[in-house]
Amino acid sequence: MQFSTTSTTQPTPAEQREEALHTPKIGKVFTDHMVTIQWTSEDGWHDARVRPREPFSLDPASAVLHYAQEIFEGMKAYAQPDGTVALFRPADNAHRFNASATRMTMPTIPEAVFVEAIERLLRVDSAWVPKGEGTSLYLRPFMFATELFLGVRPANRFTFCVIASPAGAYFKGGAKPITVWVSEHYTRAAKGGTGAAKCGGNYAAGLIAQAEATRHDCDQVAFLDAAEGRWLEELGGMNVFFVVSGVLVTPSLGTILPGITRDSIISIAKKRGLHVEERPYSFDQWREDAATGRLTEAFACGTAAVIASIGKVRFKDGEFPIPGGPLTDALRDELVGIQRGVVADDFNWTWRVK
């Protein structure tokens, strides 16, 4: 794939950029450039461009605005101690992007092109990678249907795009434990549905449950399975882990999003000799394990927040606390250490941006 590059003639003034990097507000401030690549059924992927970030001009009949053929990824670039920049498992994001594309009847993109698009954006916007503790440059690759068409069938034109935003700590108040609201009314994903695809529509459908969580003074919503309303699935945008009698338990893949953070935590835990079980875990069991003291820790995980310990669980008929312990912190320290290049990367997860 040939990429053309046009640099912005109006870069953000250095002073303003430094200010943005000093107190990053993820998803509110963006870098100066973006990458776009077009796909049509006749020509496949073409017209790859690194260009100034600017609004899209979209026809009101663009298919994405009506039937929501849209997918995305979320990943981070981390400043390394030697001054280079590293991505974390970018090929896994590329692979998952294509799995989402296949589920949503969208074209797949060669993994090497996906990663190159991100590397090119990082090179042109290298001054935007923050260096402070807990900071990174959040990257948002996404793809949407641009064909002008109101019929119901897969579109034949798509745009792939990557934008970037400096990121600080995800939850307000840093690493303090979060409160989770268990939604007993709304569900996120059903068997055969799109739960394992990273598509915007999943989020649109879950916002009402997140709003319910906010109304109950909770940071995040936890979803139960759609078939029985019994088994923990995941949070609105994060996977979930439980420490029960010293065993690390996490819901099995299927209707949940296969998180790269989730997968990394499983690998790190196994390397540390911990017993890990990927299996169904019910809300009733969660309550009972909390009451008997068998449950010592629980945490949510994802690229944005990395690992956030869950300190309290609230639901329609009550709430219960979770004590918290050393495992959550140990796993977080090792994972963050690998990402920042200060802990040995035994798994070969780090990808140096050239």
Ligand X SMILES: *Cc1c(COP(=O)(O)O)cnc(C)c1O
| CB of 107 or CB of 195, closer to ligand X | 195
| Residue span binding ligand X (CB under 6 A) among the ranges 63-71, 224-232, 260-268, 324-332 | 260-268
Whether the Cβ atoms of residue 297 and residue 325 lie closer than 8 Å to each other: yes
What angle separates helix 111-124 from helix 90-103, to the nearest 10 degrees?
Answer: 120
Least Å distance, CB 76 to ligand X, is 9
| Residue span binding ligand X (CB under 6 A) among the ranges 36-44, 115-123, 254-262, 325-333 | 254-262
Q: What are phi and psi of 309, to 5 degrees?
A: -75, 145
Q: Which of 90, 168, 177, 259 binds ligand X (CB under 6 A)?
A: 259
Element (H, E) at 209: helix 200-215
Q: Does residue 234 belong to the site contacting ligand X (CB under 6 A)?
A: yes
Least Å distance, CB 267 to ligand X, is 13
Taking residue 184's Cβ as centre, other Cβ atoms within 10 Å add up to 15
| CB of 260 or CB of 268, closer to ligand X | 260
Burial class (CB in 10 A: 0-12, 13-18, 19+), 233: buried
Q: Does residue 261 belong to the site contacting ligand X (CB under 6 A)?
A: yes
DSSP codes, 145-173: E--B--SSS--SEEEEEEEEEEE--SSTT
Q: Does residue 220 belong to the site contacting ligand X (CB under 6 A)?
A: no
* Number of chain positions touching ligand X (CB under 6 A): 13
The DSSP code for 251 is P
Q: Does residue 302 belong to the site contacting ligand X (CB under 6 A)?
A: yes
Whether the Cβ atoms of residue 346 and residue 86 lie closer than 8 Å to each other: no
Q: Which of 17, 33, 157, 198 binds ligand X (CB under 6 A)?
A: 198
| Residue span binding ligand X (CB under 6 A) among the ranges 3-11, 127-135, 170-178, 259-267 | 259-267
Q: Does residue 74 belong to the site contacting ligand X (CB under 6 A)?
A: yes
Q: Which of 62, 210, 255, 303 binds ligand X (CB under 6 A)?
A: 303
Q: Does residue 90 belong to the site contacting ligand X (CB under 6 A)?
A: no
**Alpha carbon distance 267, 272 (integer Å):** 9
113-132 residues near ligand X, rule: CB under 6 A? none
Dihedral sign computed on CA atoms, order 66, 68, 69, 71 = positive
| Residue span binding ligand X (CB under 6 A) among the ranges 35-43, 218-226, 236-244, 345-353 | 236-244
Four-CA torsion 12, 18, 22, 23, nearest 10 degrees: -20
| CB of 33 or CB of 262, closer to ligand X | 262
The contacts of residue 36 (CB under 8 Å, 6+ apart) are: 47, 48, 49, 51, 159, 160, 161
From the list 331, 307, 308, 319, the residue with the least C-alpha distance to 177 is 308
Least Å distance, CB 234 to ligand X, is 5
| Residue span binding ligand X (CB under 6 A) among the ranges 155-163, 235-243, 287-295, 331-339 | 235-243
Q: Which of 257, 298, 307, 353 binds ligand X (CB under 6 A)?
A: 257
From the list 324, 349, 335, 196, the residue with the least C-alpha distance to 265 is 335
Least Å distance, CB 221 to ligand X, is 11
**Alpha carbon distance 218, 207 (integer Å):** 14
Least Å distance, CB 47 to ligand X, is 28
Q: Does residue 157 belong to the site contacting ligand X (CB under 6 A)?
A: no
Least Å distance, CB 73 to ligand X, is 8
Q: Which of 122, 260, 308, 353 binds ligand X (CB under 6 A)?
A: 260
Q: Does residue 251 belong to the site contacting ligand X (CB under 6 A)?
A: no
Q: Does residue 168 belong to the site contacting ligand X (CB under 6 A)?
A: no
From the list 2, 35, 38, 3, the residue with the least C-alpha distance to 158 is 38
Residue ranges that bind ligand X, judged by CB under 6 A:
74, 198, 234, 237-239, 257, 259-262, 302-303
